A = this chain, B = another copy of it.
Amino acid sequence: MPKFKITVEYDGTEFVGWQRQKNGPSIQSSIEDAIKKITSETVNVFGAGRTDSGVHAKGQVAHFELSNKISLDSIRDGINQHLRPLPIAILDAKEVNGDFHARFSAQLRSYEYLIINRRSPLTLYKNQAWGVFKQLNINAMKKVAINFEGKHDFNGFRSIDCQASSSIKTIQSCTVKKNKQYIVINVAAKSFLHSQVRIITGTLVDVGKGKISPTNIKKIIESKDRSKAGTTAPAHGLYLLKVEY
């Protein structure tokens, strides 16, 4: 059976998340429905990252199998046509080997978090960024970010819903950049715990606000205690940027 890898962009605002759920429309089920319309086949679409409700993607990756071969252009354009008017788009389609798995073959996942730091409420990017009103100390945030890099037990940086058996993860890079009112946090790792990027972001923002002292960050990580880390940043500022294999 031919196997396909697709790269997907979406605005997660109106969805229950990537994964199929009974309580509303998901990205996964929307794509599966579109594939059924063009191929009459009922497929399972497996995603690299199970983004939560409100989380966006500029480069989610997923795979699925079909019993019949169809052209890559037809896959991309056909799914896109049947996804309309939903804010989900297939950016790219490739054929892959039978052993490729969007989730298990992934080597690096990159997330981006967008903060708009200003006193005025957000307008243009209302559902696509976190509006933080208090002026953040960007230098403190930059200095602290590096502490998240490397191999750590991130038990203090996962949601209570996290089902991973181990909370040890290796973060390849964690950076903070500022351009005028826009602050972008980039975090990359082979895999993440549930809400890990959002809790790291929230902790960095608490450092920027002066609520957490930069000198305490190492101790907070070592404590493995969720109550010591910062707030969980809202879903709508988070983007799954890229998945590498």
Contact = CB atoms under 8 A, between A and B. Distances in A.
Interface of A: 9-11, 56, 58, 76-77, 80, 83-84, 87-91, 118-124, 126, 128
A211 B128 CA distance: 35
A84 B9 CA distance: 29
A121 B84 contact: yes
A215 to B, nearest CB: 33
A201 B119 CA distance: 33
Contact of A87 (B58, B83, B91, B126): B126
A91 B76 contact: no
A55 to B, nearest CB: 12
Nearest to A131: B89
Most buried by B among A56, A84, A89: A89
A12 to B, nearest CB: 9
The 7 closest A-B pairs by CB, nearest first: A87-B123, A89-B120, A11-B124, A89-B123, A11-B123, A89-B121, A9-B123
A80 B118 contact: no
A216 B15 CA distance: 48
A124 B87 contact: yes
B123 A88 contact: yes
A128 B120 contact: no
B124 A77 contact: no
A87 B128 CA distance: 13
Contacts of A11: 123-124, 126
A153 to B, nearest CB: 34
B124 A9 contact: yes
